[in-house]
Structures are given as C-alpha cells and as structure tokens.
C-alpha cells in the first residue's frame, strides 16, 4: 500500500513538474521576441532610464530637443534604445538604415503609441495602419495630384492677403506665430472644409473646435499608468478629450452636409475643397463612409495647422536673421510675382520660387515640424550591419537628430539654403524627413510647399524682416510638433511701394 501511495505521489510531482515546464516553455515562446528586444536594449546605449517608468519623464523636460535629441547621434551612435514604461523602443538615426524601414511596405504599420492620438486626430491616414490605411491612401491620393493642388493657389493667395491686412502698417516688432497660425487655419477652412477665406459671416468659424484642439498624448506618456485605457478612461483628461473629439466630429459632420448641399449647384468655375473630393470618393466607394471622411478631415485640419504654421514662422524668423538669403528670396519674388495684389500668382510663378523653396527646406531641416515619428516593423531588420531587430519591434525616428548628422550636413547648425539648391549634390531622401519618406510619406507635402511659398512670398513683397532686439535666439520645444518657447519674434518694416491689399 505504501508503495502505491509513494508511486502515486511521485507521479503527481512529475505531472506537476511537467505541466510547469510546459507552461514556462509556452510563456518563453510567447515572450521570446519581447525578451530578445529587452536583451538588445540592455546592450545598447541610451538616455538614463528609471525603474518601471523608463524614459517617460524625458518628454516633459524643457531641453529635450536641444540637449538630448540634437546630440543623440554623437552620444549613442547609429542605434540607441529608450524605455517607454517597460517596453523598449529603438532609435534609428542613419539614412541607410532608415531607408530599409521607411522604403518598404512591410514596415508601414504605425507604432502602438499613435493609438493615443485616436481621440484627437481620429483614425485617418496618420494614425491608421494595415488595410484601412492602404485603402484610404489609394482612394485619396488622386486628390493630391499637382494639377489639382495648384488650383488651391487662389485660396493661399486670398489667405495671405488677409494676413497682410491684419499686420501693422508701420514698423513693429511682433510674434509672427499667432498671425501665421490664423492664416494657415483660414487656408484649411477653405481648402479642406469649403468655408471661403472671405466669408461674410466668420463668427461660426471663429468658434470652430479646430481652433481649440489640444492633444494629451504627451501627458499620458509622462504619466505611464495612463497608457492603460482602463485607467485613463476614469480620468477627467479622458472625459475632456472625448468631449473635444465629439465637437470635432459634430462640426465636421455639419460641414459634410453643407458641402453635399453645395454640390447640387456647384459649377465648373467654383472652388472645390477636399471634402468635395472625399464625398465623391464615398459616393463611388460605399465602404468609405462619412465616419471615414470625418477622420480624414480631422487629420488634415489638425495635422496641417501646427506643421505648416510652424514651418512658415521658423522660415520667416530665419530669413530675418540672415539678410543675404532674404535678399535673394525678395529678388526672386520680384522677378516672378506680379506687384499687383489683385492679380493672383500663377502656378508657374510659384514653381519658379526655387531659392525660397530651398530656404523653406533648410528651415525644415533645422526645425522639422514633426521632430519625432514611430513605426512598428513587420519583419526582422538588420541595423548597422550588426543588430537584428525582431518583427514587431517599435522604432523611433528623430528627424531633428538625423537632420544634424555632420557627415551629411557639414556644420549642421548653420542656416545654409544652398544645401537644397538645384546645383547641390543629390540629397539622400532618407536624410531629409520633414514629411517622412517612402510609402507613408505625408500625402499633403506638395500642398504644403505651395502653401508655404505663396504665404511667405506675399509677406516678403510687403515687408522687410529683421531680427527683434533681444529675441534673436530660438528655444525649440516638443509638443508633438515643434514649437518655439515664447514664440518667434521679428521686426517688420513695410517696404516702400508695398502692396496695399485692402
């Protein structure tokens, strides 16, 4: 009897041990990629991480851009690691490695952290992945044909003229950021939603929720327990964000209804907006619903504000500091744009502003509107010919750092538009990333360049820019997009015989 009891006890222990071994083996298999990432992360250099929270608090530091990101490649080399909570992310700097990731359709999925923007931007082209992204991109891409985009020059010119009307008519020092942002919003209201810049009743647009958008993603990252939706949804911040999203959706839905009504009487000479094109897409493709139109409209309206507004303001600031480059731009503007504000610039004249475009690109190199992007790779990738990243790895891309690689951009802190002149050596497209690159590049980048050139050209026609005394330096800060702490200040001096766009 004792023998059988001992045998049964031994068998139970063996069975228990076997089950535990099986369980551990299954867990190790399921966690193998995660463990590989962790092992690699512990081998790589990176900013000092703290237990559990990792590097989450870094994003709140005032000198994140100038201290950490600008010097990241010098400090860590071509591949670095950061910890977001207990999850490792890998920072890729070198264009040759970035090409492997950004050029392939196998790596088009956005990082899981873009889900933090769903209640702000919706699930449009910036935040979506997989089939939805590829389908929407294919459907919307024809609307960004250069021939269609150049028809928006009238809208850009009207908004620029409205901006000139609001600027002081005497020499003054001012923060150009607010003026420029309002101009860009006027452009988007007409180009995306179909509300004319010269609308007689602008009260409704002045109360537009697109003027009041506030993103909370950085707040959630610096409070990593809020990365869990089950916790975040219990907070006041979540309630405020959902309320904001509802206002954006309701407003967009109302604009869609108006454009559907307007299309009944739309003539061939009437200006069209992106909502018109997306409504046509929806009519021909039932799977592209009104909710999809709303998501894409919110994406264009919100992403287009900060990115283009910052780029224009930084360019004006830098032209004020570099008189020789401003003079070249002004001569180019005088040569190609008519000096009569009643006559719209032509598509050809805007294309000919090549030196101004080089100045804009150099501004975007120094101060990329989106200084940080992320991807999730779809298959294993080898970085720097020695590090293997497994599928599902979260990749961080820092244009602000890549744009300062000395072996690509000598004397990287110097403002030198000649880097982008027609005679300059061919630039590696993965070394210049203000609008990303590859299949997931910004669908509206051509729109943005035409917009920026038109607005800046109008300002240069009317004003000479010089630095504002005591405000000659800029302190860039990160708030999803790049901003300047305290704004960007310049002295505006009306040019003799300048346009009177009143």
Both tokens of 183, joined, read 């101009």
DSSP-derived secondary structure for 154-218: HHHHHHHHHHHHHS-SS-EEEEHHHHHHHHHHHHHHHHTT---TT-S--HHHHT-GGGS----HH
Question: CA 218, CA 210: separation in Å to the nearest integer?
Answer: 19
Task: Give Cα separations from 272 to 37, 139, 301 (angstroms).
Answer: 49, 17, 16
Closest among 314, 274, 312, 327 to 296, alpha carbons compared: 274
Q: Considering just the CA atoms, what is the radius of gyration of the chain in Å? A: 26
C-alpha distance from residue 338 to each of 38, 143, 251, 353, 492 (Å): 60, 29, 38, 13, 21
Cα–Cα distance, 124 to 297 (Å, whole number):
8
What DSSP line would sit under 434-470, residue for residue?
A: BTB-GGGS-TTHHHHHHHHHHHHHHHHHHEEEEEPTT
CA dist 202 → 206, 208, 213, 247 (Å): 6, 10, 19, 18
Q: What 3-state class would DSSP assign to 127?
A: coil
* CA dist., res. 294 & res. 296, Å (int): 5
Take residue 464 and report the two structure tokens written for it: 């000479």
- 442 assigned binding-site residue: yes
Q: Quick one: tokens of 319? A: 């032209």
User: What stretch of H or E contains 494?
Assistant: strand 489-494
Q: Half-sphere exposure (CA, 13 Å, Cβ side) for 436?
A: 21
Q: Which two tokens stand for residue 264?
A: 């009944």
Nearest to 219, CA basis, from 245, 240, 243, 249: 240
What distance in Å separates the CA atoms of residue 483 and residue 81, rounded to the nearest whole number? 25
Is the distance from CB of 94 to CB of 362 less than 8 angstroms?
Answer: no
Asked if 370 contacts 482 with a C-beta cutoff of 8 angstroms, the reply is yes
What angle do the packed helices 2-30 and 32-43 form, to 10 degrees? 60
d(CA 153, CA 343): 12
**Could you tell me which residues are annotated as the binding site?**
442
**Could you tell me which residues are annotated as the binding site for heme?**
442
């Amino acid at each position: 009897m004792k023998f059988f009891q001992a045998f049964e006890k031994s068998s139970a222990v063996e069975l228990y041990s076997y089950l535990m071994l099986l369980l551990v083996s299954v867990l190790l298999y399921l966690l193998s990629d995660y463990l590989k990432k962790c092992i690699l992360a512990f081998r790589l250099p990176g900013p000092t991480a703290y237990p559990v929270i990792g590097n989450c608090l870094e994003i709140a530091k005032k000198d994140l851009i100038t201290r950490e990101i600008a010097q990241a490649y010098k400090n860590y080399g071509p591949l670095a690691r950061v910890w977001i909570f207990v999850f490792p992310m890998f920072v890729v700097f070198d264009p040759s490695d970035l090409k492997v990731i950004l050029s392939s359709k196998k790596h088009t999925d956005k990082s899981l952290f873009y889900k933090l923007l769903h209640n702000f931007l919706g699930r449009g082209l910036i935040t979506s992945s997989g089939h939805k992204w590829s389908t929407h991109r294919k459907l919307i891409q024809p609307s960004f044909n250069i021939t269609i985009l150049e028809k928006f020059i009238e809208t850009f010119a009207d908004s620029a003229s409205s901006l000139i009307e609001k600027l002081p008519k005497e020499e003054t020092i001012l923060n150009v950021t607010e003026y420029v942002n309002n101009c860009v919003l006027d452009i988007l209201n007409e180009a995306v939603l179909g509300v004319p810049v010269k609308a007689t009743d602008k009260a409704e647009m002045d109360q537009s929720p697109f003027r009041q958008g506030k993103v909370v993603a950085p707040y959630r990252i610096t409070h990593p327990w809020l990365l869990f939706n089950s916790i975040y949804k219990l907070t006041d911040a979540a309630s405020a964000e959902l309320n904001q999203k509802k206002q954006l959706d309701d407003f967009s839905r109302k604009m869609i209804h108006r454009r559907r009504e307007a299309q009944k009487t739309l003539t061939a000479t009437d200006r069209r907006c992106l909502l018109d094109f997306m409504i046509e897409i929806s009519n021909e493709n039932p799977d592209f619903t009104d909710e999809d139109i709303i998501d894409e409209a919110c994406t264009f309206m919100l992403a287009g504000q900060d990115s283009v507004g910052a780029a224009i303001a930084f360019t004006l600031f830098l032209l004020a500091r570099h008189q020789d480059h401003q003079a070249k731009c002004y001569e180019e503007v005088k040569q190609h744009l008519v000096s009569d504000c009643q006559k719209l610039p032509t598509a050809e004249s805007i294309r000919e502003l090549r030196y101004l475009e080089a100045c804009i690109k150099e501004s975007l190199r120094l101060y990329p509107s989106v200084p940080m992007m992320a991807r999730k790779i779809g298959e294993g990738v080898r970085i720097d010919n020695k590090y293997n990243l497994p599928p599902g790895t979260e990749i961080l891309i820092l244009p602000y750092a890549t744009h300062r690689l000395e072996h690509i951009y000598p004397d990287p802190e110097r403002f030198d538009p000649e880097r982008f002149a027609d005679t300059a050596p061919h630039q590696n497209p993965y070394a210049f990333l203000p609008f990303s690159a590859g299949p997931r590049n910004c669908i509206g980048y051509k729109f943005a360049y035409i917009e920026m050139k038109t607005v800046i050209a109008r300002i240069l026609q009317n004003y000479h820019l010089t630095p504002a005394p005591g405000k000659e330096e800029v302190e860039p800060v990160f708030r999803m997009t790049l901003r300047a702490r305290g704004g960007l200040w310049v002295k505006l001096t009306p040019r003799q015989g300048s346009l009177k766009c009143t």
